[in-house]
Amino acid sequence: MDLKQELINMAIELEVKETFDYPEGTHEGTIKSVEKRTVVSSTGEEYQYVDIHIQPDDNATLDLKYGIPANLSKKTKLGQLLEVFSVKLKGKSRVDIEKILLSKRVKYQTITDKNGFVRVLDGSLKPILDEEE
């Protein structure tokens, strides 16, 4: 079997995961990792995202992923999120998103979408400010 066929076979075989219930509402947790991800559309266009992984206080086994486009300006979701974390965005400057967000205590709201997936509600991720950094 050639390498191409091995890759095709690997892509088809998936492990069935257990479902879980996680209540909708307001939660607290800690940002455990921040990653950049590239998605390629069916037309070949590439889109960049930032994935923020949150470890909820009320579920030690759950890894919530909040993914937002990696476009950074004052008007984008990512820019608005960073401003909530007290980052002052200035044109043409560079921002280390991982350094800003990693290990931060946060509060956020979750919803369950029509397919049963738990999602972090856009605009709800905020730092917990009453703790010392």
CATH code for the domain in which residue 45 is found = 2.40.50
**CA-to-CA distance for 82 and 71, rounded, in angstroms?**
12
How many domains are contained in the chain? Answer: 1
CA-nearest of 99, 122, 127 to 109 is: 122
Question: Among 6-15, 23-32, 34-43, 86-95, which is the least confidently predicted range?
Answer: 6-15
Q: How high is the pLDDT of residue 119?
A: 93
Q: Is residue 6 part of a domain?
A: no
Q: Is residue 101 part of a domain?
A: yes
Numbers of helices and strands, H then E, in the chain = 3, 6
Q: Which amino acid does the sequence have at 115?
A: N
Residue 118, domain extent: 24-127
Whether pLDDT at 10 is above 90: no
Whether pLDDT at 103 is above 80: yes
